[in-house]
Amino acid sequence: MNNDFEQLKERDERSVCHTYGRYPLAAAQAKGTRIYDPTGREYTDLLAGVAVVNLGHCRPELTQVMANQAQKMVHVSNLLYQEEQVACAEKLLSTCGANKVFFCNSGAEANEAAIKLARRYMQKIKNKDAFEIITLEGSFHGRTLATLAATGQDSLKEWFAPMPQGFITVPFDDISALENAISPKTAGVLIELVQGEAGVRPLSPEYVSALARICREKDILCLVDEVQTGMCRTGKFWAHQHFGLKPDIFTSAKALANGLPIGAVLATDEAAKGFEPGTHGCTFGGGPIVCAVASKVMDIMLDKDMAERAKKMGEFALSLFTEVKDEFPDKIHEVRGKGLMLAIELCFPGKDVWSALLDKGFVLNLTQGNVLRLLPPLIIEKQDFTRFAAALREVLGG
């Protein structure tokens, strides 16, 4: 570890709140699928800033849009009409079955807004005393108080009591548990189709179709958190498109503007009736720079069929990881994934493996203590996975 790094680390510890378990790595530059430390050492990015830079770092077309828009108009407020925001909403809607968009700045804010929309729709528009949101064990929906209350991981809620009321967590992928939890107070069910923080856990197709049926029969809302799974990550533009699911409300953030802060709630015309002027808002939401960039992101993703690329590359990566698993059956418990949302679950705590891989120049995430989670930029190349698999073999064999 060089002196400059130690100094930066010390300054960080002195001046920045200690909310993150940082990696022993400082990033000075990033381009495409590579991150460079201040000494110029190259790392292969298999994390994409946690599923954010899906089109790679500093993509020139996006940098250009950013720079142009920064010279034209940066912020005027949501009290004025803005071409960039409307165009971005139209583009978003062209990718899915939703009819209306609300813009904000992050995943948590998008989920918070989705929860507010669900409650207000049920109470004001449907005239029901329904407010409860059912979520699943292992889920992660954000760090604001309401989205934390919605999150199905008790450890994250410790010492933040009292939690906002109106959230119930039910076991993952358990249809009867879901049916039993529904009451006249239920406003909707909020799910991730592939749980990210929980270690890349996909819901079964049976569960998803039962969920759709239950929401229809009980006249409650189906809400999908696509903050991590959206934007071509899982091999479709939106993960719900794998299942033919038509959510009443779903959320996006992370990769939508490839690194600029943005969040979006997408709703059907019916569900969107829950928001009327003055009922919700966001100062920075839908600003011209992020919206211009997000529109360009979507253009590129559609033009280059990034969803198909994610699907194919994900299959390639999984086949490589399966070979490694077969060589080390007592070390790798399972490899799984959808598109480029990938996990290698180890049979033991994975800190040392994760750390050795970082030493070998691969940036990825360790979640749940033993799951190596890979969320690479969707532009990742096959040889990057081949090099990673070789490094993993070395680490596991060493």
The binding site for ligand PLP (CB under 6 A) comprises 50, 106-108, 111, 140-142, 192, 196-197, 225, 227-228, 253
Amino acid at 123: Q
Residues in the chain: 398
Nearest to 264 by CA among 247, 249, 248: 249
Nearest to 227 by CA among 211, 240, 216, 209: 240
Q: Dihedral (C-alpha) 328, 332, 338, 342: value to the nearest 10 degrees?
A: -100
Smallest distance from the beta carbon of 213 to ligand PLP, in angstroms?
24
Non-local (6+) Cβ contacts of 80 within 8 A are none
Does residue 243 contact residue 218 with C-beta atoms inside 8 Å?
A: no
Smallest distance from the beta carbon of 369 to ligand PLP, in angstroms?
17
Using the 8-state DSSP alphabet, how is residue 397 labeled?
A: H
Of 225 and 384, the one with the shorter C-beta distance to ligand PLP is 225
Cβ-closest residue to ligand PLP?
A: 107
Of 44 and 106, the one with the shorter C-beta distance to ligand PLP is 106
**What's the rounded Cα separation, in Å, for the pair 49 and 35?**
10
Smallest distance from the beta carbon of 20 to ligand PLP, in angstroms?
12
Q: How far is CA 250 from each of CA 20, 116, 195, 263, 278, rounded to the nearest angstrom?
A: 28, 13, 15, 11, 21
- Sign, CA dihedral 77-93-373-304, equals negative
Smallest distance from the beta carbon of 156 to ligand PLP, in angstroms?
12
Of 85 and 105, the one with the shorter C-beta distance to ligand PLP is 105
Of 95 and 195, the one with the shorter C-beta distance to ligand PLP is 195
Of 105 and 370, the one with the shorter C-beta distance to ligand PLP is 105
Of 55 and 264, the one with the shorter C-beta distance to ligand PLP is 264
Smallest distance from the beta carbon of 144 to ligand PLP, in angstroms?
8
Smallest distance from the beta carbon of 207 to ligand PLP, in angstroms?
17
